[in-house]
Chains A and B, each alone.
Chain A
Amino acid sequence: MKTHSDWLLRELPHLVASGVLDAAAAERLRAHYAARADGRNRWGRVLFPVLGGLLIGLGSILLVAHNWDDWPRSTRLGLALTPLLWGQLACVWTVLEAPLSRAWREASAAFTALAFAAALALVGQVYHFAGDLDRFLLTCALATLPLVYILDASLAAMLCAGAFTAWAYVMPDPEAPVWMVLVLFALLLPHAGHVMRRDADGLRSVALNAVLIPAFFAAILAGFPNVPRLVLWWLAEAGAILVMLEALRETRAPLWRRPLVLYGGGAVAVAALVGSFPEIWRGWSWYLRPQQLPMVWALLTAGLAWLVVLSFRAWRRGHWLAAMQAFPAVVMALAAPIDSRAPAMALAALLSAYLLVLGLGTFRAGVRHRDAGLATRGLVLIALLVLLRFVDAEWSFTARGIAFVVTGMFFTVATLWLRRRMQG
Chain B
Amino acid sequence: MNTKILLVALAVVCAIQWAVPVWLMQRAQITLAQGSVYRFRTMPIDPLDPFRGRYIALDFEAARVKLRAGGHRFATGERLYAPILVGEDGYARLGLPLPTPPVHGDYLPVRVEWIGDEEIGLRLPFDRYYLDESRTRAVEQAHAQADRSHSEADAHSHAVVRVRNGDALIEELYIDHRPVSAWLRARHSVETGDTR
Contact = CB atoms under 8 A, between A and B. Distances in A.
A143 B13 contact: yes
A91 B11 CA distance: 10
A150 interface: yes
B20 interface: yes
A96 B25 CA distance: 32
Given A119-B21, A146-B13, A150-B13, A127 B127 contact: no
Contacts of B103: none
Contact of A147 (B13, B50, B111, B170): B13
Interface stretch (A22-30, A67-75, A274-282, A337-345): A67-75
Interface in A53-93: 61, 64-70, 77, 80-81, 84, 88, 91-92
B138 to A, nearest CB: 13
Contact of B51 (A70, A121, A128, A173): A121
Contacts of B17: 84, 88, 112, 116, 143
A105 to B, nearest CB: 11
A117 B7 contact: no
A424 interface: no
B153 interface: no
B6 interface: yes
A294 interface: no
Interface in A86-134: 88, 91-92, 95-96, 99, 112, 116-131, 133
A65 B53 contact: yes
Contact of A67 (B13, B53, B124): B53
A39 interface: no
Contact of B124 (A70, A95, A99, A130): A130
Interface in B28-54: 28, 32, 49-54
Given A130-B128, A131-B127, A143 B20 contact: yes
B142 interface: no
A128 B18 contact: no
B80 to A, nearest CB: 14
Looking at chain A's contact residues, the main secondary structure is: helix
B128 A131 contact: yes
Contacts of A70: 132
Nearest to B11: A92
A254 interface: no
Contacts of B123: 130, 172
A66 B132 CA distance: 6
Interface of A: 61, 64-70, 77, 80-81, 84, 88, 91-92, 95-96, 99, 112, 116-131, 133, 136, 139, 143, 146-147, 150, 172-174
12 contacts: A69-B130, A81-B18, A91-B10, A92-B14, A99-B6, A116-B20, A125-B55, A127-B28, A128-B55, A128-B169, A131-B127, A136-B51
Give the top 10 A-B pairs by smallest Cβ distance, nearest first. Answer: A65-B53, A127-B28, A121-B51, A125-B52, A146-B13, A125-B130, A128-B170, A88-B14, A121-B52, A123-B21
Interface of B: 3, 6-7, 9-10, 12-14, 16-18, 20-21, 24-25, 28, 32, 49-55, 76-77, 111, 123-133, 135, 169-170, 181
Given A92-B10, A172-B111, 19 more contacts: A65-B50, A67-B52, A67-B53, A69-B181, A70-B132, A80-B21, A88-B10, A116-B17, A118-B51, A121-B52, A123-B24, A123-B28, A125-B53, A131-B49, A131-B127, A131-B128, A143-B13, A172-B77, A174-B77
